[in-house]
Amino acid sequence: MRERVKQIFRHLDDGVDLIVLLNATDPHIDMSFFYATGLTDGLFEGCGAWLTPDGACEITTSALEEEAAKKSELPIEVFRSRDDSTKLLRERLKGHRKIGINAAELTHATFERLRTIAPKSAKFVDISDAVMEARLVKDAREVEMIQRACSIASRSFEEILPFIPGGVTEAEVAAELVYRMQRNGASGPSFRTIVGSGPNGAEPHYTAGPRKIQGGDMIVIDFGAMYRMYCSDITRTVVVGKASDEQKLMHDTVARAQAAAFTRMKPGARGKSVDAAARTLIDGTKYKGRFIHGLGHSIGLAVHDGAGLHPASEVILKPNMVFTDEPGVYVPGFGGVRIEDDVLVTRQGPKYLSTTARELLEL
């Protein structure tokens, strides 16, 4: 993990001599703690990762997580009480002048605690941009885990297809999919599964409700598996029975927009130009203005892992970044279509990590 720590410091040029990534209680856990330590399970409430410019990383952990922390093979120090932990923090902060914190994830209460314990002369600086930039470019191990998360989700989706036309509700489809993903090796879903049937498909962030799925429904299913803390994020739109001409046209439009953006996902491309490829295509059809969200986002230890691809995005794509490519078209009262895949940027061009069939499925 030395290389990851060095990557973070490489994005800093202002003499930071220590970075502390300190977790509060669940759900206020900084996923960068897992990035820096390489740990891929455990909760680590109240625990810290201490990073120095030479690439070293040490862990302060509660006795509760001691065994889990050992798996990192990094130096660890264990505390058994709040007083113990305060003493440890004080010792570690001593002598440091410029201390980096991940303000994007650190809670205010934890920051206040750090500030009262740190030497009076110490200055805290926000290093969240550096952490984000380091995390955007995945190493081989991370790509491997995202690939596993994608494979589990793709396979589980294919397994539940026969279940959908059986008079079940959206919530039942979501539950079945999560169950399948866990049976297939996921540690859990990477976010709340969306099953938006009929008119509900027109709301991009609808989740899943009691509506019974009916013949003729177009259904937006947005799902992801978590594998050892790494996420996948996939959307497919299916139709129960034969698709109408309108449903086919909507799906075809989104599929063409997705493919147009995909071909632009090469090293050197700017985020907004990738977004524009899909948006221009949709805006040239009768669905102009119906693509109401950004094209995609980086994924990794978080489903939204730092950068986005949208009309104002200045991010420059680099090899080993992983972004979703997820255009959609939403017609209130009628329904929606979204197609989402996870794409690895490589020197040889873009590569789909999610593989389940992209064409409109008639169930």
> How do beta strands 76-79 and 57-62 pair?
parallel
Which lies closer to Zn ion via its Cβ, residue 100 or residue 224?
A: 224
Contact of 299 with 324, CB cutoff 8 Å: yes
Q: Which is nearer to Zn ion, 49 or 225 (CB)?
A: 225
Least distance in angstroms from the C-beta of 148 to Zn ion = 18
* Closer residue to Zn ion (CB): 34 or 223: 223
> Residue 76 corresponds to which tokens in the numbers above?
């660890």
Rule CB under 5 A: say whether 232 interacts with Zn ion. no
Nearest to 270 by CA among 326, 320, 319, 318: 318
Pick the piece of the chain touching Zn ion (CB under 5 A) from 78-86, 155-163, 207-215, 217-225: 217-225
User: Based on CB atoms, which residue is closest to Zn ion, 46 or 224?
Assistant: 224
Per CB under 5 A, does 222 bind Zn ion?
yes
Do 326 and 258 contact (CB within 8 A), yes or no?
A: yes
Whose Cβ is closer to Zn ion: residue 65's or residue 222's? 222
Residue list 5-64, contact with Zn ion (CB under 5 A): none
We find the least distance from the C-beta atom of residue 190 to Zn ion, in angstroms, to be: 9
Q: Which residues, in sequence order, are CB contacts of 311 under 8 Å at separation 6+?
A: 272, 275, 276, 279, 294
**Shortest Cβ distance from residue 324 to Zn ion (Å)?**
4
Nearest distance, CB of residue 258 and Zn ion, angstroms = 12
Q: How far is the CB of 132 from Zn ion (least distance, A)?
A: 17
Give the per-residue contact string, 297-326, with Zn ion (x = CB under 5 A; - = no).
Answer: ---------------------------x--
Query: Applying CB under 5 A, does 233 fall inside the site for Zn ion?
Result: yes
Nearer to Zn ion, 172 or 340 (CB): 340
Q: Based on CB atoms, which residue is closest to Zn ion, 172 or 233?
A: 233
- Decide: is 356 part of the binding site for Zn ion (CB under 5 A): no
Minimum separation from the CB atom of position 222 to Zn ion (A): 4
Q: Give yes or no for a contact between 314 and 234, defined as CB atoms under 8 angstroms apart.
A: no
- Of the candidates 199, 139, 190, 181, the one whose C-alpha atom is nearest the C-alpha of residue 303 is 190
Please give the residues from 80 up to 139 whose contact with Zn ion meets the rule CB under 5 A: none
Interface with Zn ion by CB under 5 A: which range of 6-14, 129-137, 220-228, 311-319? 220-228
Least Cα distance to 224 among 342, 104, 345 occurs for 342
Rg (C-alpha) for the chain, rounded Å, is: 22
188-189: strand order across its sheet: 188-189, 225-227, 230-231
User: From the CB of residue 241, how many other CB atoms can be counted at a distance below 10 Å?
Assistant: 12
Q: Interface with Zn ion by CB under 5 A: which range of 82-90, 152-160, 161-169, 336-344?
A: 336-344
Long-range contacts of 26-34 (CB under 8 A, 24+ apart): 28/105, 28/107, 28/110, 30/102, 30/105, 30/106, 31/105, 31/229, 31/301, 31/302, 32/102, 32/105, 32/131, 32/135, 32/301, 34/229, 34/301
Site size for Zn ion (CB under 5 A): 5
Q: Which is nearer to Zn ion, 133 or 233 (CB)?
A: 233
Site residues (vs Zn ion, CB under 5 A): 222, 233, 235, 324, 340
